[in-house]
Structure 1
Amino acid sequence: MGFRQRGLTLIELMITLAVLAVIVAIAVPNFNTMIQNNRSLSLGEELASALNYARSEAVKRSTRVTLCGSTDGSACNGAWTDNWIVVLDTAATDDAAAPVVANANAVLRFWEAPDNNASLTASQGGATPTFVRFTRKGTLGRSANGAVTLNASFSGCSSNSARQVTVGPAGMLNMTRSSSGCS
């Protein structure tokens, strides 16, 4: 009877571990980039969802509704990287310079602040708006300044994985890929 080998030799085990180490070294950086790309997509989708919610509430309630950043969850006093709230806006006109939140009952919905690695920027006619207002007809308030463009990305995303959400004067949303904010 001959000797029958059971198991692996030390050399076979070392070669297997070396091949595994090479595969992991190649895969991990790409995996992290993929995660950041997906987080950018998710942030853009969440922002578009919040804007659509605000617009639909404006039409449903036939009143001004605003999406804005909030540090405390009850007033429009924050930036886009803070918490977001959708509020019934009691400003005097559709073109008022700031939203007016009558009381805590005027807050319709609350979103938690995005992760610290998130980047959210907004622009409208060369300015940096801190809120997006919809009129009772679902059109964009302060539309004389043109469309509002919001860019959402996470640090570490690649090429064109950031998302750009544009709210046109008619209130319609358009989401496209963007390289703004990605390395």
Structure 2
Amino acid sequence: MQPRKDNAGFSIIELMISLAVLVIIAGMATANWQGTIERHQARQTKQELRTLFQVARHTAINRRQMTTFCPLDAANACTNDWDQPISVFIDPGSLKVLAQPDYLIRTFKAMPNGTLIASHSGPQERRYFQFNPDGTVHGTIGNLTWCPDSLMAERGVHVIVNFGGRIRWGKDRSGDGVVEKASGQPISCA
């Protein structure tokens, strides 16, 4: 009888199969991890938007002054680039311009890992939101949608502002996993 030889390693085929399994598992874990991160970012964005609207509305009521919030350009005028930091400021002349530095109430950083999209006011994207001294919306009502960098609408956030200056969140009433706008249409992140 010959002594039995112990194989001390993997064959090339066993090694390739093991690597293929690891790549598949790593790919599934990465996809799940990305979804977890984006759902967390959506919750964080919701809280930031809630705070933004509350600060603007409460400032208008408490100071009895027109209050505007918007992203500001280099000249401190409202712009429609909602990926910039958003400022809340007293706007007594409703000029949509931060006229004096001491009118600035608070600046919110740009929303992380995604894009804010404002509703349209006429042919252009909304540049600002304003609140009257009684807390109601000045001008037209509107909404903001946050879409994650992956552009997956299922992970988006939608806030709707009514004439009373109150906000509500878009809900998935159709059961397709995407929240709807006030019109009932699903949000779009594409």
TM-score by length of 1: 0.75
From 106, 110, 120, the equivalent of 2:107 is: 110
Cα displacement (A) at 1:90: 1.5
- Give the secondary structure class of the aligned counterpart of 2:129: strand
Cα displacement (A) at 1:56: 0.9
Q: Deviations over 1:45-70 (max 9, x none)?
A: 31222011100111111111111111
Aligned to 2:127: 130
Letter in 2 for 1:62: R
TM-score by length of 2: 0.72
Q: What are the residue-to-residue correspondences of 1:6-21 with 2, within 5 Å?
A: 10=10, 14=15, 18-21=20-23
Call closer, same or farther: CA 1:107–1:82 in 2, change over 3 Å.
same
Higher mean displacement: 152-161 or 129-138: 152-161
Contact 2:85–2:107 (8 Å) recurs in 1: yes
Letter in 2 for 1:57: T
Hey, what's the Cα distance between the residues in 1 that align with 2:87 and 2:153? 30
Cα displacement (A) at 1:125: 6.6
Aligned to 1:5: none
Identity value in percent: 20
Cα displacement (A) at 1:99: 1.9
Letter in 2 for 1:77: C
The number of residue pairs the alignment matches comes to: 169
Are 1:180 and 2:187 an aligned pair?
yes
From 139, 151, 155, the equivalent of 1:161 is: 155
Stretches of structure 2 that go unaligned for 5 or more consecutive residues are 1-7, 171-178, 181-185
The answer to which structure, 1 or 2, has the higher relative contact order (CA under 8 A, 6+ apart) is 1
Stretches of structure 1 that go unaligned for 5 or more consecutive residues are 1-7
Aligned to 1:55: 57
Higher mean displacement: 60-69 or 155-164: 155-164
Call closer, same or farther: CA 1:115–1:60 in 2, change over 3 Å.
same
Hey, what's the Cα distance between the residues in 1 that align with 2:61 and 2:137? 12
Call closer, same or farther: CA 1:55–1:33 in 2, change over 3 Å.
same
Call closer, same or farther: CA 1:82–1:30 in 2, change over 3 Å.
same
Call closer, same or farther: CA 1:126–1:40 in 2, change over 3 Å.
farther
RMSD: 3.0
